[in-house]
Amino acid sequence: MIVGEDLPVRDPTYGIAEVHRCLAWLLSEIPQLKAALGELAEPPGWEAMRKRFQSLEFCRNKGLSPPLVAVLFGPSGGGKSTWFRLLTGVNVPAGEEQRPTTCACVVAVPKKLWEREFLEGVFPSCELAELQDPNQLRVSSDRVFFCPQEDPQGLPFILADVPDFNTVESQNWERAERMLARAELVLFLTYSESYSDRRTVEMLARCCRLAGQLVYVFTKTEPEAAREKRRHLLQLVRERHDLGFDQKRVDGKTLSEFLAESLFYASPRVLSSEELSGERVIPLDETAPGFLSLLVGRDSHHLVVRGLIEAIREGIFYSKRLAEKAEKERNELEGNLRTIEELIHRAALTVVEGMFPVGRLVQLAVEECEKRVPALIRKSLGWMNGVTNRIRGKVMTVRDFFSLGGGSNREEETVDICDQSQLERKRLRQAVEHLVHEIRSHFPEEATANGIFSAERCEKARDVIESQPLPLAGIGWEASVREELAHWVRENKWTATTVSVIPTTLGISALGFLVADLGISGGLIGTLGTLSGLATVNGVAAWLLQYFGRWKLQQVAESAYQVWAEYRAKELAQFLGEILEAELFKPWKERLSRLAKHDLGKTLRACETLQQVLVNVRDAREEDATVFSSLGPAKETE
């Protein structure tokens, strides 16, 4: 919402403390939020609000009246340095020989304000240096030089001369804009050929947005010609909507209206300070005051407050935009991380879905059965079973040998029983390759040479995964399986008795790490189903597995498989997630955690509050000092 348009009814409830609180909150919060978002530049509007408020606070704390800062602003060749020289008596470089002439800012300070500490408070975050030699201004520098006013004009305010904003020395532009952000009074100087340059008009719009007051001067121009140019300029800014003069200020005026109401002057070439005060600087409106008397007679307090108010408007706009951007980015990052989590989980599932924990399941079955059968009976039966199995083992060995060449039943499939870690490692490698491909497909903007999912980073992450040992299988899944097995034991007592004697004969203790590769046998049902008449077996576990069907344990096996798969998938997903976070998407996590520290809601509320204050200001009459005084100085000038 732009202040001045479609505003609610005036709400007089906001007090001074609230205004200060909101401003203080924004001033501390926004720079951190800007850093969290990785934005480097400080937009002029925000800078204006920050500098002007900090200057005001500094003066309030010192019990001083804040000084008015004026700036000579304009394109190269407009005469800024010449006028600065004439107004202040400081002999800065000026002239035609070099373009641009000025490459650094200089401020001329009235003698009564000549104190470094004071100036540092008035110009916060500026690197100040005393001007020793005017030629220092010809050298490109971010420092702001200060010097005392020499001229008997005795300007009651600080006057700044700045570099241009339109030559090829582009580093000058930012310096000029930084000083514009600080100044409340803008003296916009342009010569007749440049007033309608696009860049000049764009910067004029910026001045209209930020200035407490604007004074427009046509230099090197006769008054009649200047009047015509003023007419043309005002027509342009009124009719050309692409120039941005439709925006409104806090006082409700559009920028074009503000410009139209500003004071315009014209001046042929001015060569001496006497010419400034004489007839050579002519107001284009007959009712306007003379130029120097205008400068000397300014209500600085009023301008300071107005300048701050306009700057606050710009600052609110920027703060809102930043907070909304941060919120959007936070949501986006959370969404991205959720997506990655899902992809990782899916990858982990594909690893475990191809395995069946045959070894551990058999162990659990045996353990539950053992609880049912008394030890003495178990041992006796075990001895008998052992003899029988040794005979059977020999028979099966011969049968296995002949079935290697194809066997009598070609339709039966083989089951691959192997160590869990080996199979998992093998399947994990494949799953990780696929996972990397999926992640890069989902986030193509990061799948670049400098992105977080670059080929090199993915390669490194994959190597780390392969070099790390897999997490040991947990036992959290076994509780529910045990319950089902216990139920089965109760239903199948005699079968359970048979099962319980197996360990003593077959050395089942080492089965825990064995799994069946379901990829070979075609799934769990297939694995269990085909084993009833299995021709070829591989190991004790497979031999036992074949009896799951006979012993009516399919349902238990299926249920155990589901539980185990989900549990193990979580373990693997956590393993993958930790490594991938460290190697790949850590920047996202860090960015998210930086953004999460900021109370965006509070920032937006502070913006709303200040916006309402500005509404109050807009609706207040000029004479109503209540709201103004809440932002003004605490005492009169020392």
What is the β-pairing status of strands 213-219 and 263-267? parallel
Site string for another protein, 462-501 (x = CB under 8 A): x---------------------------------------
Interface pick for another protein out of 2, 225, 377, 510 (rule CB under 8 A): 225
23 sits near another protein (criterion: CB under 8 A): no
Q: Which is nearer to another protein, 135 or 170 (CB)?
A: 170
Single out the residue of 163, 239, 188, 212 nearest to residue 314, CA to CA.
Answer: 212
The single residue among 143, 199, 301, 372 that binds another protein, judged by CB under 8 A, is 199
At 300, give phi and psi (nearest 5°). Answer: -70, -35
Choose, by CB under 8 A, the member of 192, 480, 574, 637 that binds another protein. 192
> In 443-581, which ranges are continuous DSSP H helix?
455-467, 478-491, 493-500, 502-506, 518-521, 524-529, 539-550, 554-580
Report 49-108 residues binding another protein (CB under 8 A): 76-77, 95-100
CB of 238: closest distance to another protein in angstroms? 12
Is 243 one of the binding residues for another protein (CB under 8 A)? yes
Q: Which of 57, 151, 174, 197 binds another protein (CB under 8 A)?
A: 197
Q: Judged by CB under 8 A, does residue 223 bind another protein?
A: no
Residue 196 touching another protein (CB under 8 A): yes
Q: Do residues 464 and 583 touch, judged by C-beta distance below 8 A?
A: yes
Burial of 513 (0-12, 13-18, 19+ CB in 10 A): middle
Sign of the Cα torsion 297, 300, 305, 306 reads positive
| Residue at 462: amino acid letter | R
Angle at 460 between CA 457 and CA 461, to 5 degrees: 85
Q: Which is nearer to another protein, 122 or 465 (CB)?
A: 465
Place of tokens 């009598």: 408
Query: 112, 116, 232, 338: which one contacts another protein (CB under 8 A)?
Result: 232
Closer residue to another protein (CB): 80 or 378 = 80
Of residues 306 and 427, the one with the C-beta less far from another protein? 427
**Minimum separation from the CB atom of position 435 to another protein (A):** 12
Q: Which of residues 436-455 bind another protein (CB under 8 A)?
A: 436, 440, 447-449, 451, 454-455
Burial of 457 per CB tally in 10 Å (0-12, 13-18, 19+) = middle
91: Cβ contacts below 8 Å, ≥ 6 apart: 85, 134
Sign of CA dihedral 114, 120, 123, 126: positive
- Which one of residues 170, 293, 422, 629 is an interface residue with another protein (CB under 8 A)? 170
Could you say whether residue 586 binds another protein (CB under 8 A)? no
Q: Establish if 218 lies at the interface with another protein (CB under 8 A).
A: no
* Strand 144-148, strand 128-130: pairing: parallel
Q: How far apart are CA 466 and CA 426, in angstroms?
A: 10
Looking at 150, 193, 285, 578, which residue binds another protein (CB under 8 A)? Answer: 193
| Footprint on this chain of another protein (rule: CB under 8 A) | 76-77, 95-100, 166-170, 191-199, 201, 225, 228-229, 232, 236, 240, 242-243, 429, 433, 436, 440, 447-449, 451, 454-456, 458-459, 462
